[in-house]
Structure 1
Amino acid sequence: MDFEDAVERFTEYLEFVRNLSQNTVSSYTRDLNHYSKYLQEHSLDYRMVKRRDIEKFMKELSQGYYSASRLSPSTVARHLSTLKTFYMFLYVSGTVNKIPTDLVKAPKTRRRIPEYISYEEVQQILGAFPNTHLGSRNRAIVALMYYCGLRVSEVCSLTLRDISLESDPLVRVKSGKGDKDRIVPLTPDAIRMITDYLKHRDKFPEVNRHSRLFMGIRGEPLTRKSVNKMLQNHVKKIFPDKHFHPHIFRHSCATHLLQRGASIKIVQEILGHANISTTSIYLHITDKEKREAVKLLSNGNNNDS
């Protein structure tokens, strides 16, 4: 079996056995495309590679080989994770008799503190959408990312059945990152904005052909790329000097919840993190604010006698 056939079988396993999202499968495929270029460059058979070959691949990735630019340590580490999963699949299926990635160590990475914006800035962004069918759609999208902490890919995948506005308003997030479903309660503000959008939804073309909650201006399913472009254009009008990305609303949701006293366990469940260590990075933000606050006691502004 050649490498392309092995990758095809692997992606089928990811899609139909592990039931991973298309975005996750695409990420695996991109990493394996880089690996394919490496194998071709060095005339290697994927079934015969050794530990040193994997380590050399990671080094060359960090130097900018096989991609448009040098890859960060975290991206190189992700490539290694992809190869570990790939070779474990090949080992279990009997294609290889050893796993060359077993003893390979991932590069050390620094966890960056996530960017976030203030509650007031979120409200400015929400309030600036026009009262049109398109504006109501965009406002509801941001509401779900901020008030419910949804990823942009999760918002794009929502169907009408995933939203409940009855006695116990909630959103069902199916097969989020890590193949983990979850239920997130809807706040009154989110309910109001989603309800307003649903009143305008039939103004989008092809509305009766889709079960998706959100659609594009031509009736096509919404994509991450289109949401990102929409936000960039909208936010530039309000904050021309700031760079925004859709994930900033999810980061802001987590940060504001912890700042207002929510337990880290609850925030983990809302965000759908598999490990609480992922959620704990948001604690660094509140710790930083505490350190800045206590500095006020030694900057000469304390006039108490």
Structure 2
Amino acid sequence: MELSAGWRALIEEYAAHLASGRGLSEHTVRAYSTDLRELAAAVEVEPGKVTLSRLRGWLADMSEAGAASSTIQRRVASVRGFFAWAAGEGLVGNDPATRLKAPKRGRRLPKVPTGAAIGDTIGAAEARVLEEGDPLALRDLALVEVLYSSGLRVSELCALGLGAVDRGRRSVTVLGKGGKQRTVPLGVPALTALDAWLGRRSEVASPASPDTVFLGARGGALDPRVARRVVHEATRAAGPGAEVGPHALRHAMATHLIEGGADLRSVQEMLGHASVATTQIYTHVTTERLRAAYRQAHPRA
């Protein structure tokens, strides 16, 4: 269905409001506009005649068509924002979306490499050090070891300052989300790999290099995209099906700690989660692993 003049004018005006009034990016404004055009085609009435019942029917149709929960959540946010704005500006008589709710988003369990897969990944990185022997191979081994040992976010790892590593306490201090500082333990293998890299960091550094632990190949700050590529390549080298990104190493660290008996609050502090509820996802991961082991091994499972 082609947009009516009424829908077209309102969507264009709302897009201008999002861009100039709220300073949203061009990509975000385009996504919101697309959601509203799809709504207009689905309800087949002018904006002022849209009812809550029609909006709920639109959501139901999307759900039956197999739309992802995250997609539905975003579209509900788009529609609620649009009608709140339109009603506030007096462009529609009332706001039909005030009671519109998206279905609760299902929580997906994160993909977590096993301890054996982590061992294979580190073994592949160590083999590269032996084969190539250059400082970047040492950097990459240290990067993988530190990510798995500490559970740092990749952005935290790239911003890690040279003074953040405390060898005496075997720990590293990082600035996490919201500017919150936390101290995280580091294992001996991670510290050993870190020392090996730092011993040759000067071969990569330049006078203009930042005072960060990890550097890019040309001596600049390590780009998070490069760090992700390093992890993908290291895990890919560990064998078929082993490839994961940096966040999976964070998941693995937390899951393996809980499997080993660490309490939830301690893991929460190490990960820098604001709420323990976020950390609880890893208890579900370990429970699923126990169930899988039970089903596989128990004769009457």
The alignment partner of 1:209 has SS state of coil
The aligned residue for residue 171 of structure 2 is 170
Please give the residue correspondences for 1:268-279 in structure 2 after superposition, counting only pairs within 5 Å: 268-279=268-279
Given the superposition, is the C-alpha separation of residues 256 and 57 from structure 1 closer, same or farther in structure 2, using an over 3 Å criterion?
Answer: same
Distance apart, 1:256 and its partner CA = 0.3
The alignment partner of 2:274 has SS state of coil
**1:193 is the counterpart of 2:193:** yes
Larger Rg over CA atoms? 2
Aligned residue type for 1:145: L
How far apart, in 1, do the equivalents of 2:64 and 2:23 lie?
27
**1:72 is the counterpart of 2:48:** no
Identity of aligned pairs, percent?
A: 29
**1:121 is the counterpart of 2:122:** no
The aligned residue for residue 20 of structure 1 is none
Measured against aligned partners, the alpha-carbon deviations of 1:247-277 in whole angstroms (never above 9, x if no partner) come to 1111110110000000111111111222222
Distance apart, 1:119 and its partner CA = 1.9
Q: Which runs of 5+ in 1 are unaligned?
A: 13-25, 43-47, 65-69
8 A Cα contact 1:38 1:57, kept in partner: no
How far apart, in 2, do the equivalents of 1:124 and 1:284 lie?
25
Distance apart, 1:295 and its partner CA = 4.6
How far apart, in 2, do the equivalents of 1:278 and 1:242 lie?
25
The aligned residue for residue 148 of structure 2 is 146
Instruction: State how many pairs are aligned.
Output: 271
Please give the residue correspondences for 1:1-305 in structure 2 after superposition, counting only pairs within 5 Å: 3=15, 6-7=18-19, 10=22, 30-38=27-35, 72-77=68-73, 103-129=99-125, 130=129, 131-161=133-163, 163-176=164-177, 180-206=180-206, 208-295=208-295, 298-299=298-299
Measured against aligned partners, the alpha-carbon deviations of 1:112-154 in whole angstroms (never above 9, x if no partner) come to 2211122232122223221431111112211222111112222
Given the superposition, is the C-alpha separation of residues 36 and 250 from structure 1 closer, same or farther in structure 2, using an over 3 Å criterion?
Answer: same
TM-score by length of 2: 0.69
The alignment partner of 1:172 has SS state of strand
8 A Cα contact 2:36 2:78, kept in partner: no
Distance apart, 1:294 and its partner CA = 4.4
8 A Cα contact 1:151 1:250, kept in partner: yes
How far apart, in 1, do the equivalents of 2:186 and 2:61 lie?
46
8 A Cα contact 1:259 1:286, kept in partner: yes
How far apart, in 1, do the equivalents of 2:248 and 2:150 lie?
13
TM-score by length of 1: 0.69
Given the superposition, is the C-alpha separation of residues 4 and 212 from structure 1 closer, same or farther in structure 2, using an over 3 Å criterion?
Answer: farther
The alignment partner of 1:173 has SS state of strand
| RMSD over equivalenced CA pairs, Å | 4.2
Given the superposition, is the C-alpha separation of residues 140 and 31 from structure 1 closer, same or farther in structure 2, using an over 3 Å criterion?
Answer: farther
Distance apart, 1:158 and its partner CA = 2.3
Measured against aligned partners, the alpha-carbon deviations of 1:153-199 in whole angstroms (never above 9, x if no partner) come to 222232324x22243343233242x6544321222222222222111
Q: Which runs of 5+ in 2 are unaligned?
A: 1-12, 41-47
How far apart, in 2, do the equivalents of 1:9 and 1:181 lie?
34
